[in-house]
Structure 1
Amino acid sequence: MIDLCVKFKKKENLIKSKILLGVTLLNSGFYKEAFDVTEKIDTSGLSRALKTDYLVLCARLNAGIGDYDNDAYFSRLYYKQSVDDFKNAEIATPSNDFEKTINLAFLPDSMKNKKLTPQFFYNLIIQRRMPEHTVAMVATRISYAYTDDNKILFLALAAINDIRSSTKETLAVFLLGQELFKLNKTADAYIFMQEAAKNAKFYGARNRAVQIESILPIVASKLIDEKQHEKDKLLIGFLMFVIVAVVLFFLLVIYRRQLLRIKANEQEITEKNIELENVNEKLWESSKIKEELIGLFFKTCSSYIGTLEKLKRRTQRNIKLGKYDDVNAVLNDVHIEQEKGQLYNTLDTVFLTMFPNFIAVFNELLKKEDQIWPKSGETMNATLRIFALMRLGINDLEVIAKILDYSVSTVYTYQIRIKSRALVPADVFEQKIMDIKFIDNRAVS
């Protein structure tokens, strides 16, 4: 285009082509070459529009090299020159109403009215229905007026419209990555930085590629550190979980052991209590039996003492009177067998009062044909009395024999014969006899 303009002597088109070349070199990162182009542009007699385009190019070129140098001394000079060039461009072509409204975003907060909010400028851009590339440029410019979430809002809007307009200049997505990195959103920042690097490579913007390459490793390093930190946290959390699980397991084991011990102790206590209850019941039963037997003993002894006393007096009186035949008559009135029978009947009555179901339970242990029941007029027979005395706790055969006026062998024979006919073993038979319940009729009544 420059060659054609020189050939056909089109000065205005020549300057326009040089400005476009300067913009291309600026965007490609060829700052020296861009400065060389701008220095060769003849600015005399330029139209207002071309002069404005020229000054904007110079302003952007000084701002770009200031960012590229990133030096406290030299960058300051370039930024100052950039500001002056923008001011001169404003003088050459004053901003229209829309541009003036956009510039209000850069006023100090103290000078802004209440309606100049980020949402106001966002709606202004959306509602104006501008081309996507223009929206991206306006949104990028407004983003410089804000920080944090508001800045991200406009940069995201600019990046979206760069994609919609197939623009690969990368500024918006690069700045968006930087802001996200500042807000410690490293994973998102890394994604945008990678996208910016791809765009810079595609577009050929060497200056932007250098900027991205200087920042991208830092972002990547921080992302790796964060992921490693997350892994460490996960590992620590897992280890803590394992430790807690192990501790809980041992606590559960200890708790289970203690619970088993408590249950065992409770079981032992229950068994001891049952044993004590059985012992107490047996002691109570024994005490009641002794009370009954002692009562029977004293009653019987008192009766016999009274009888002996009467017999003694009658005998002594007859001897004094010399009535020896009457003495024999008195002695003959004493019927030993009858007295024994009366004693046994009394013993049977007292025993069956204490153990009213003795005979029935006793016979349940025998076959029907071997069962022993008292005859008519009897309370108990000899066999039943032997086992009745055993139930009273008298196990000595000699004692039983003396009480019943039998020989020891006779008592032994009775026992062996009954045990051999029992439905249960001999030792079990004796235990069954001892298990026959004592009933206190007085307590029941």
Structure 2
Amino acid sequence: MKKELDQTLENEPLYLNKKNSAINQLKSRLRSSSSNEIRYSLNEKLYDEYKSYQSDSALVYAKRSLNSAYKNQNNIQINKAQLNLASILGTLGMYNQALEILNSMEPKVIPELKGEFYWTKRIIYGGLSSYANDTEEKNKYNRLGDHYRDKAILNLPKNSIGFVLALSGQFLSQKKYNQAINLLLPYFNKTPKTDPNRAVIDYLISENYKAKKDKTQEKKWLALSAISDLELVKKENISLRELAFILYEEGDIESAYEYIKRSLDDAVFCNSKLRTYEISKMLPIINETYEAKNKSAKSQLIVFLISASVLSLFLLAVLILLFKQMKKLAKAQKNVESANNQLSLLNEQLQSFNTKLNQTNSELAETSLLKEIYIGRYMDQCSIYIGKMEEYSQKLKVMATAGKVNDLVSTVKSKAFIDKELKEFYTQFDQTFMLLFPTFIEEFKSLLTEPDSIQIKKGELLNPELRIFALIRLGIKDSAKIAEFLRYSASTIYNYRSQIKNKAKGPREQFEMEVLLIGSSKKEAN
């Protein structure tokens, strides 16, 4: 499926030409039309062409469509045009203006469009929820979005695609994932590729598989949704971005970078404020990893070129030596045996040197591997142990609460045991890490402009910031994994990393690469 998606990306100019041709035909008809009824219809069609392609142009035609509807004095057309205008204002991030239009038309919206009206409100509040900074505000907008989604379900025609999409969203929020998938699959099979709703259906199916933690199916349906978006030139999209983050988590950095960059280009082209905002939070993470990978590849190439050059010089020197030996052999046959013996001895020494060098490299690689395996197993076992203790403590709480062992309640409600085990776990981790990297703290501070800002409490070896970068030194770079290990939120880990990198002596983007060299032979060589 990824191969098909990549091919679709390459064929973008074909789809773009088709899109622009359709738009130009509509514009040509609009210029030659004098009837307000026809102009309303053409303006609405142009709005449909532009709404997920170029938001600014879609706004223009939404306003023109509304103007034609007022001239026609057609309430259905007026309501429809107002909904289109509110919808595109939401895409542009102008949520207050969108709500003003919706709230003003609510008392007089015609019955046939009530379902679409409530669904538009649900989308607006969904966008506000994505922008919300605090949990209370986000929950408020989510409740409003769910409220208007439920009202849309009650008012949309039961056989319409809008009803199906709204109902599947309700199933998803109620954790009825199989019901949602079974509802959507028949519509996927009968929805033509030219229908913009096809991509939405695919995306909703992927969301249900995501909730079921079925990563394979989630990627498949995201790819199908992204392909549909690309073929219809929908720049206001989400599937390609979601797929990019999954590939990033799986280690396919190049594809993740290509997809997220393409998503950002599309969002900027469309002027979709929400999509641009969402992508801007992910892009630095993927971009940083991509740049680090490229830098590593360049370093390896330089080492290879240097090695090849040295080897070439060495071979050239050997050839020159052999040539001189051949000239000497022609002049003095008596020295043949001596020269051959010397050459044989040189070859033996060279082979012996290569053998020892290979042996040394193997020993170093083995030592490094053992170190990584030891630390990895150690952390896994400790983390698993703590998880089991937490689970056991939870079970004891349930038993105590049920009244089975009354005098156990005070014990299980206390976190003293877990805190003690965590403290011991981190102490053992600190001791093991410092045993392997005894100069870590000194070298780490030397990378900072304010080394005294790293304060360690009495009785501790490492503080939280040092533990984060200790894990990075061990090769664990994923903030989510670090957060899980240290029992912090991912945002806390991200803030810690950002604060420390802001204090770096050298370039901020190279700081973590410098941390990876602490205690290594490469660091000493530099």
Normalising to structure 2: TM-score of the pair?
0.41
| Higher CA-based Rg | 1
Normalising to structure 1: TM-score of the pair?
0.47
